[in-house]
Amino acid sequence: MLRVEDLHVHYGGIHALKGINFEVPAQKIVTLIGANGAGKSTTLRTICGLVDKSQGSIYYEDKDINDFDTRQRTIGGLVMVPEGRRIFPNLTVYENLKLGAFKRNDTDGIKKDLKWVYELFPRLEERLQQKGGTLSGGEQQMLAVARALMSKPRLLLMDEPSLGLAPLLVQEIFEIIEEINSQGTTILLIEQNAYAALKVADYAYVLETGQIIIEGPGDELLQNDEVKKAYLGG
């Protein structure tokens, strides 16, 4: 569904990505793990068109998306849950969700998806008229995911969804990621919480200073000694 070939990115003089290759097959959960500054966020932002690549190609549904801007990629179903949630704090929860559905005109479909999102996140439905900025951190993360779902993603890119959440909420978020995936949405997940990410992932890549150093099925990497030592705390 997504294929990244020899991707290089320069970021203000820094060679942030040094020719990475990876693939996200349809219907799967793929994860990129790695330490801070390894280039995980840069990878996602480049896929969304928020950062310009200096070399390489990105194929989405077998098309080179080089000429499409962020908006067109979103319209095409390539949707991101950005790092740090980035919900709109001065807009209501409902308005945030409506922005997720901004590209759509199918009123009935939007209603149906709102219902689905309320089922996934009942707490959001209780807070529809509240300003996004008044939600707790966990609720904001739920809103960010819900908002992305309103964009009808075919491939959902998630940048550190568990960051800053209490352990119980982290578990909840990963359950929801699996639930979304089981409904047919492909997921590319970026995480520092390597253990949780590897557990849900069908396939995983380990990124270190702009290069992919290890790859393999999620459960295999969980047993990999190198991964264990560097990312799973022994």
Partner 1 sequence: MSLDIFLQNIVNGLSLGSLYALIAIGYTMVYGILRLINFAHGEIFMLGTYFLYYGVLIFHLPWWLSFIVAIVLTAITGMLTERIAYRPLRKAPKISILISAIGVSFFLQNAGIVIFSGVPKSFARPEIFDKMFILGNTRISSINLASTFISVIFLMALLYVVYETKTGLAMRSISTDMETARLMAVNVDRTISITFAIGSALAAVGGILWALKYPQIFPLMGMIPGLKAFIAAVLGGIGNIVGAMIGGFILGMAEILLVGFMPQLSGYRDAFAFIILILILLFKPDGLMGKNVQEKV
**Piece in contact with partner 1 (CB under 8 A), picked from 11-19, 67-75, 166-174, 180-188:** 67-75
Interaction of residue 74 with partner 1, rule CB under 8 A: yes
Q: Which of residues 92-111 bind partner 1 (CB under 8 A)?
A: 95, 98-100, 102-103
Site for partner 1 in 165-224 (CB under 8 A): none
Question: Which residue lies nearer to partner 1 by CB, 164 or 217?
Answer: 164
Rounded to a whole number of angstroms, the minimum distance from the CB of residue 43 to partner 1 is 16
Q: Which of 25, 37, 89, 217 binds partner 1 (CB under 8 A)?
A: 89
Query: Interface with partner 1 by CB under 8 A: which range of 11-19, 88-96, 171-179, 197-205?
Result: 88-96
Q: Which residues contact 17 (CB under 8 A, 6 or more apart)?
A: 7, 8, 9, 39, 42, 43, 46, 53, 210
Q: Which is nearer to partner 1, 77 or 218 (CB)?
A: 77
- Residue 163 CB, nearest approach to partner 1 (Å): 10
Q: In whole angstroms, give the CA distance from residue 184 to residue 188.
A: 13
Q: Residue 31 phi/psi, 5° resolution?
A: -125, 145
Number of residues that bind partner 1 (CB under 8 A): 32
Instruction: Work out whether 135 is an interface residue with partner 1 (CB under 8 A).
Output: yes
3-class secondary structure per residue, the chain: CEEEEEEEEEECCEEEEEEEEEEECCCCEEEEECCCCCCHHHHHHHHHCCCCCCEEEEEECCEECCCCCHHHHHHCCEEEECCCCCCCCCCEHHHHHHHHCCCCCCHHHHHHHHHHHHHHCHHHHHCCCCEHHHCCHHHHHHHHHHHHHHCCCCEEEEECCCCCCCHHHHHHHHHHHHHHHHCCCEEEEEECCHHHHHHHCCEEEEEECCEEEEEEEHHHHHHCHHHHHHHCCC
Considering only 37, 137, 167, 217, the residue that binds partner 1 (CB under 8 A) is 137
Q: Among residues 41, 151, 186, 193, which is the contact residue for partner 1, using CB under 8 A? A: 151
Q: Is 153 in the site for partner 1 (CB under 8 A)?
A: no
90 binds partner 1 (CB under 8 A): yes
For the bound state, the minimum distance from the C-beta of residue 127 to partner 1, rounded and expressed in Å, comes to 14
Report the distance separating Cα 174 and Cα 6, nearest Å. Answer: 30
Nearer to partner 1 (CB atom), residue 139 or residue 218:
139
Binding site for partner 1 (CB under 8 A): 48, 50, 69-71, 74-75, 79-80, 82, 84, 86, 88-91, 95, 98-100, 102-103, 131, 133-137, 140, 147, 151, 164
